[in-house]
Structure 1
Amino acid sequence: MRDLVPTLDRVRTADGRLLRVECSGDPCGRPVFLLHGMPGSRVGPRPRSMFLYQRGTLLISYDRPGYGGSDRRPGRRVVDVAEDVTAVADALGLDRFAVVGRSGGAPHALACAAVLPDRVTRAAALVTLAPRDAEGLDWFAGMAASNIDEFRTAFTDPDRFVARLIPRSAAIRSDPARLLEELREDLTDDDRSIVSDNGIRSMLMRNYQEALRTSPYGWIDDALALTGTWGFDPAEIRVPVLLWHGAKDAFSPASHSSWLADRIPRSTSIVEPSAAHFGALRALPNVLSWLLADTALPQTPPL
């Protein structure tokens, strides 16, 4: 049986940066990295620790560079996440692990699957975007006007994007409910129901506030990375991948997952007809079960 993981909340990378880490669930459980959304942090929504413990799961989250308690990495690409995940896994003594990302974290989960095939057992991408240069995909089709404006500005005029996002981040940091209010017009009834749940809403508020606590640059660098060159080809992924999407998602349209499903050889695609963007929170427990289906710990022999 695997040993208890070390207790730590900070990891230093090879280039000297500090990453803020949080583990929950069973310290001896099967490890899964949960890569947060945009903006987001290590304290973002996830199943309760007791749920994870009962299912023998160790859930590992960390703040991507520039968010929360993690040092910034200017100019980072999506693929660079693999170096940070490797640093955290090594610090925890983990050889093999699964990885799941939601929203802005989903392409980062795919990056880990692509470049760490000897360590990643399975990967899941929930409500993911496809690469900005995805051939044959109308990248903005079905996307809410607010997201079109944000991503298009990040791609075509990054200086203007940064100048706009700095004061917006400051406002959300002081009043994290403001972000959900900004999104409300584009939320479906199903999404409104999910984010109105007191427990989920509390997690989201804490998540946004921690994400932007030290600076806006995690959010800025995420957007620039997602609209830039990712640094890997999804078609090169060889580990099993689950792509989950809500058909009514207007923030990252389901066509992005469909494009990826056509290119990732060992992918399974689920599109929930009535779900939208925040439906991924409801899907996460079942996704964790899928991620761990092939990674059960060996049974302890009877005495």
Structure 2
Amino acid sequence: MTSSQTPIFFCHGVPGGPDDATLLQTGDLPVTAPNLFDFATGEPLPHLFSMYDNACAEAGAGGMHVVGFSIGAMAALRLAAARPDTVSRVTVISPAAPLSLGNFLPEMAGAPVFKMAMQRSGVLRVLTAVQGLLARKAPGVLINQLFAKSGAQERSLFADAQFVAALTKGMHSSFGTHRSGYLDYLAAYVTDWSAEVRQVQAPVEIWHGEKDTWAPVAMAEAIKNLVSVPCSLQVVPDGEHYSTLKAVRIG
């Protein structure tokens, strides 16, 4: 099996859901895109590893191409570090790097949420409960709130029915049906997981939008500087967060 035929294991954004994968151009490649939040315990990574191992067994492949979007990059990179024998390649798109690598929060639209996650604030649970209500009753209001700091390119995606459908499903999962898993992933993200990035053995490809307001491009540069394997960084001119995901073609 050539690298261009390697099946994809997709790690969606946080917030987000499996339908994030529909925004990625993958051609005819087989894609496994599980719901990362669908687990019963407070430990996201064992569940992630189990889903990945099952996907490998079902694919019968010699390796998988792991793709992570946004905070899903944390899942992708930590998975690659834990499964060096079966992860053949890693692509991270609009990646949110470990917060320990720099003073990124002032440039991140979600900074208040991450600060609450670091403080283990009960206010965050109340906030997500309110967001869950909005996701059910007024998803347009919630989407406008989440994209308040986005630019014209990102907002132009609202005319794309596939994008709106993926986004709406991801909001329902994150703030509603799988809110506990979403909160556990946030808690995992705000810890220092930089040591695991250094352990990645598969080659890494990074795509990041020049004008991303969710994750500044400095995060992509920090990941590139941290890994010890061959790593390429493609900065998309005028690209933002989701628009960069839409622009990337795998395979």
**TM bin (shorter chain):** 0.7 to 0.9
Contact 1:240 1:267 (8 Å CA) reproduced? yes
Mapping of 1:71-90 within 5 angstroms?
Answer: 71-77=39-45, 81-90=48-57
- Displacement, 1:195? 3.0
Matched residue SS, 2:84:
coil
Report the Cα distance in structure 2 between the residues aligned to 1:76 and 1:207, rounded to whole angstroms.
Answer: 17
The sequence identity of aligned pairs, in percent, is 22
- Displacement, 1:71? 2.8
- Displacement, 1:208? 2.5
- Seen in structure 2, the aligned counterparts of structure 1 residues 181 and 45 have a Cα distance that, compared at 3 Å, is farther
Number of residue pairs the alignment of both structures matches: 248
- In structure 1, what is the equivalent of residue 104 of structure 2? 139
Contact 1:121 1:240 (8 Å CA) reproduced? yes
Matched, 1:274 2:250: no
Tell me the amino acid that sits aligned with residue 32 of structure 2: I
**Superposed CA offset, 1:240-259 (max 9, x none):** 11111112111111111111
Contact 2:14 2:71 (8 Å CA) reproduced? yes
Q: Kindly name which structure, 1 or 2, has the bigger radius of gyration based on alpha carbons.
A: 1
Mapping of 1:19-98 within 5 angstroms?
Answer: 30-46=6-22, 52=26, 55-65=27-37, 70-77=38-45, 81-98=48-65
Contact 2:135 2:168 (8 Å CA) reproduced? no
**Superposed CA offset, 1:8-38 (max 9, x none):** xxxxxxxxxxxxxxxxxxxxx6310111111
- Seen in structure 2, the aligned counterparts of structure 1 residues 178 and 132 have a Cα distance that, compared at 3 Å, is same
Pick the aligned partner of 1:108 from 75, 85, 104: 75
The root-mean-square deviation of aligned C-alpha atoms, in Å, is 2.5
Normalised to the residue count of structure 2, the TM-score between the two structures is: 0.87
- Displacement, 1:200? 1.8
- Seen in structure 2, the aligned counterparts of structure 1 residues 84 and 230 have a Cα distance that, compared at 3 Å, is farther
- Seen in structure 2, the aligned counterparts of structure 1 residues 170 and 73 have a Cα distance that, compared at 3 Å, is farther
**Superposed CA offset, 1:205-233 (max 9, x none):** 23333444524112211211111243842
Report the Cα distance in structure 2 between the residues aligned to 1:124 and 1:176, rounded to whole angstroms.
Answer: 30
Name whichever of 121-130 and 176-185 sits farther off.
176-185
Name whichever of 242-251 and 193-202 sits farther off.
193-202
Normalised to the residue count of structure 1, the TM-score between the two structures is: 0.73
Decide which structure has greater helix share: 2
- Displacement, 1:172? 1.5
Report the Cα distance in structure 1 between the residues aligned to 2:138 and 2:78, rounded to whole angstroms.
Answer: 33
Pick the aligned partner of 2:220 from 253, 257, 261: 257
- In structure 1, what is the equivalent of residue 183 of structure 2? 220
- Seen in structure 2, the aligned counterparts of structure 1 residues 158 and 187 have a Cα distance that, compared at 3 Å, is same
Tell me the amino acid that sits aligned with residue 8 of structure 2: V
Structure 1 unaligned regions, length at least 5: 3-28, 290-303
Name whichever of 175-184 and 125-134 sits farther off.
175-184
Structure 2 unaligned regions, length at least 5: none
- Displacement, 1:151? 0.4
Contact 1:82 1:111 (8 Å CA) reproduced? no
- Displacement, 1:58? 0.2
